[in-house]
């Protein structure tokens, strides 16, 4: 009996805090995406050659975990198969956060854009689904604030 | 924030980039493929916090930091290797992560060590 009670408590806690966490995170992501929209991060491999740029690799990464409630839902879906809606926001949050951190680092270096951005997603072992998302790319820093030709 | 990194180490004037060329500079010589790796395990304190977090969801800052540290180490090793072959840049750098056992991850980074020279 006590096990069921504990289970129910965990579900409720997971649902409540998980939802709260997600909403907060999305709010902050949207705000920062607006701020960072001046600094494009693209997947192209060929940087513009009009100006001289200094190159520097930048990385952004984040580890995010699903909550108890959503993992429970996902396990249920696993029985029947189909789209696991409860994990989709998790991956979306991870990717967007990683890119934001990448851009944050790039803007700290005085970059005007980031080229050849790549994602890496990996699952981190443990009970509840935990993923790491890493984004990396090459920040292009306009040459006027740094000497390219030494 | 600790989970972001700028890769060029101050002590080494190594250019590290994941583009294939460097506008304004010509590749004088392709030297070799260089690589660096690092295997890390989670530690108990972080694991405990993580298991608490797994009820509520959200970011596991401890793990973010752990993976960040091992990435820095892998990069360091790659840069050292590039220095030892006499390169001044590593182009086309890529990362790969694999979990080799539960609780341990390998971070692997590799690229092409080259000698760049200013275009005349």
Q: Are strands B15-16 and B25-41 parallel, antiparallel or unpaired?
A: unpaired
What is the DSSP-derived secondary structure letter of residue B69? H
Q: Which residues pair with B41 in a beta bridge?
A: B104
In a domain, A150, yes or no: no
- Integer Cα distance of B104 and A65 in angstroms: 17
User: Token pair of B20, please?
Assistant: 């294939």
- Stated pTM of the model: 0.84
At B45 the pLDDT is 63
**Residue A77 pLDDT > 80, yes or no?**
yes
Find how far residue A116's CA is from the centre of its chain. 17
What confidence score (pLDDT) does residue B46 get? Answer: 66
> Is the pLDDT assigned to residue A146 strictly greater than 90?
no
Total domain count, chain A: 1
Q: CB-based contact (8 Å) between B1 and chain A?
A: yes
ipTM of the complex: 0.79
Instruction: Tell me if B64 and A63 make a contact (CB, 8 A cut-off).
Output: yes
Residues in B touching A127 (Cβ below 8 Å): 51, 54
Q: Which of B49, B57, B107 should we substitute to test contact with A (largest number of A Cβ atoms within 10 Å)?
A: B57
Q: How far apart are CA A101 and CA A96, in angstroms?
A: 9
Q: Which CATH class is domain B15-118?
A: alpha beta
Please report residues of A whose CB lies closer than 8 A to that of B71. 59, 61, 134
Tens digits of per-residue pLDDT, B25-64?
Answer: 889 999 999 999 998 877 666 667 777 777 788 888 888 8
State the Cα–Cα distance between residues B42 and B70, nearest whole angstrom: 11
* pLDDT at A76 (0 to 100): 87
Q: CB of B88 within 8 A of CB of B15?
A: yes
Query: What residue segments make up the domains of chain B, in order of their start?
Result: 15-118
Q: Is B44 on the interface with A (CB under 8 A)?
A: no
Domain that holds residue A112: 2-145
């Amino acid at each position: 009996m006590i096990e069921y009670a504990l289970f129910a408590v965990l579900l409720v806690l997971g649902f409540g805090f998980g939802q709260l966490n997600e909403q907060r995170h999305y709010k902050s992501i949207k705000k920062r995406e607006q701020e960072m929209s001046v600094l494009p991060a693209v997947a192209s491999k060929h940087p513009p050659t009009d100006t001289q740029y200094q190159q520097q690799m930048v990385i952004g990464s984040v580890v995010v975990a699903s909550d108890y409630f959503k993992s429970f839902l996902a396990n249920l879906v696993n029985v029947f198969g189909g789209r696991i809606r409860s994990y989709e926001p998790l991956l979306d949050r991870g990717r967007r956060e990683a890119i934001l951190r990448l851009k944050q680092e790039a803007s700290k270096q005085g970059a005007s854009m980031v080229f050849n951005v790549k994602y890496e997603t990996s699952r981190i072992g443990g009970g509840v689904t935990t993923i790491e998302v890493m984004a990396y790319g090459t920040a292009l820093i306009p040459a006027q604030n740094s000497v390219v030709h030494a | 924030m600790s989970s972001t990194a700028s890769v060029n180490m101050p002590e080494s004037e190594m250019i590290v980039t994941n583009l294939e060329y460097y506008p304004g500079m010509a590749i004088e010589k392709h030297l070799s493929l260089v690589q660096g790796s690092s295997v890390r395990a989670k530690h108990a304190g972080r694991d405990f916090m993580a298991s608490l977090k797994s009820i509520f969801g959200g970011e596991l800052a401890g793990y973010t930091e752990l993976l960040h540290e091992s990435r820095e180490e892998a990069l360091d090793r790659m840069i050292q290797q590039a220095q030892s072959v006499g390169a001044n840049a590593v182009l086309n750098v890529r990362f790969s992560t694999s979990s080799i056992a539960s609780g341990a991850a390998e971070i692997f980074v590799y690229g092409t060590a080259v000698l760049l020279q200013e275009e005349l």
